[in-house]
Amino acid sequence: MTVCEYSPGLEGIPAAQSSISYVDGKNGILEYRGIRIEELAVKSTFLETAYLLIWGKLPTQDELSEFETDILYHRRIKYSIRDMMKCFPETGHPMDALQTSAAALGLFYARRALDDPTYIRQAVVRLLAKIPTMVAAFKLMRKGNDPVQPNDDLGYSANFLYMLTERPPDPLAARIFDVCLTLHAEHTINASTFSAMVTASTLTDPYAVVASAVGTLAGPLHGGANEEVLVMLEEIGSKENVLPYVEKCIANKHKIMGFGHRVYKVKDPRATILQSLAQELFAATGYDDYYDIAVELENVIAEKLGSKGIYPNVDFYSGLVYRKLGIPNDLFTPVFAIARVAGWLAHWKEQLAVNRIFRPTQVYQGEHNLPYIPIEARVVAIDSNGNK
Ligand code: ACO
């Protein structure tokens, strides 16, 4: 075994061999199973893309129809899960609600048969089908309303928007939302996927795998950035304020949300597609003034931080699209999770075939052979400011 040098954040350390997706960060290329994201965004659907990611090939018409029907059939959640969700605090973040609900699925579907393809398929179908229902249910239940049951006449994305807004969505809105899900479905070994893989490597159940990934996605340095971007755009308030805002962030070493990426050193290809989706949506349903602020921010940051490879990432334009679709800010990251569950499950399934428990090493920096001091003999350390 070769011993590697310590790399903070595991930057540059390969942690798996995978054929699910590919990122070329210098040239802004993203492929799922070898197919460019730009092509999938235009020609595929989220469920077809999920199938591609998880089973490694584009489905035939029969395979796709069967998969879509299975998912449609499993979209409802058990009344006891809804009852459990009713007890969640209404002020709780929807990502925390989702993490808890996803983990709870493991209580109801407890069988763990990781070598049984039927079990694998059922778990994939259940998670893809039920997560949108749980996200939409919490959105209504936290206001004291009953959740809306899935509508069997609507496809995956249209049905989610219907459960969320309580009215059938415009076909353009449903299509744009479906493209957003496709764009967010997978992205190699990022933090949440790695979390999923570490959890999966213990051979626990797929509901625990997804729940741990949801917890990781929630943080502002990862999926949570999409929510922070709109807060930032609101704080900036006008195009004129963009330059002073960026200068202040740079001077104070504050990260600007929605910019920068561990792998991409150019504009994230998903941000480019999301920007054009935002324009398409605004042309059909009305302009959003925050878009001008966002474009100005992108220009100023290219000038000030472009030399460091800081450009918009996937989270920068997604919030503007979601806002126009009537999705509340704190549901942006759960929507990301609805999509990314496809990628997490693809990695789970891929890893099961070659599993070895993750157990990295560390560089110990503490002391050795210290005496055990009895409690009555311990002194309280006081610093130069008199603080204990
Ligand atoms: N704003 C300003 N400067 C930045 C930003 C940013 N958003 N991102 C990176 N930088 C700067 C850093 O200050 C650092 O500068 P230095 O070398 O002069 O110290 C340099 O670029 C490298 O930054 P790191 O933080 O070391 O890069 P890392 O690869 O560890 O972090 C990350 C990547 C976490 C995404 C970072 O760019 C960031 O915090 N961005 C803002 C949050 C965000 O948008 N997250 C979503 C990412 S996409 C996703 O997870 C789905």
CATH placement of domain 8-221+342-352: 1.10.580.10
* Closest atom of ligand 1 to CA, residue 9: 30
- Read off the pLDDT band of 237 (50, 70, 90): very high
**Protein fold of 225-324:** Cytochrome p450-Terp; domain 2 (1.10.230)
Q: Which CA distances in Å does 187 have to 21, 46, 59, 241, 345?
A: 6, 14, 21, 33, 12
> Measuring from atom 28 of ligand 1, which residue has the nearest CA?
262
- Read off the pLDDT band of 383 (50, 70, 90): confident
Token representation of residue 357: 């428990």
Quote the CA–CA distance of 243 and 256 in Å, as a whole number. Answer: 12
Ligand 1 centroid–CA 215 distance in Å is: 20
pLDDT tens digits, 276-315: 999 999 999 999 989 999 999 999 999 999 999 999 999 9
Domain boundaries, the chain: 8-221+342-352, 225-324
| Pocket test residue of 7, 180, 310 for ligand 1, highest count of atoms within 8 A of CB | 310
Which 3-state string (H, E, C) describes 68-95? HHHHHHCCCCCHHHHHHHHCCCCCCCHH
Q: What was the pLDDT predicted at 133?
A: 98
Q: What was the pLDDT predicted at 110?
A: 80
How far is C-alpha 229 from the geometric centre of its chain's CA atoms?
15
> Measuring from atom 47 of ligand 1, which residue has the nearest CA?
222
Q: What was the pLDDT predicted at 167?
A: 92
| DSSP structural state of residue 149 | P
Residues 173-190, buried b or exposed e (16+ Cβ, 10 A)?
A: bbbbbbbbbbbbbbbbbb
- Ligand 1 pocket, CB under 6 A: 9, 190, 221-223, 225, 255-262, 305, 308, 310, 313-315
Based on the residue annotation, tell me whether 96 is a catalytic residue of this protein: no
pTM for this predicted structure: 0.94
SS3 state at 341: helix
What is the secondary structure of 353-366 as a DSSP string? TT-----------S
Q: Which CA distances in Å does 265 have to 146, 229, 259, 294?
A: 45, 19, 10, 19
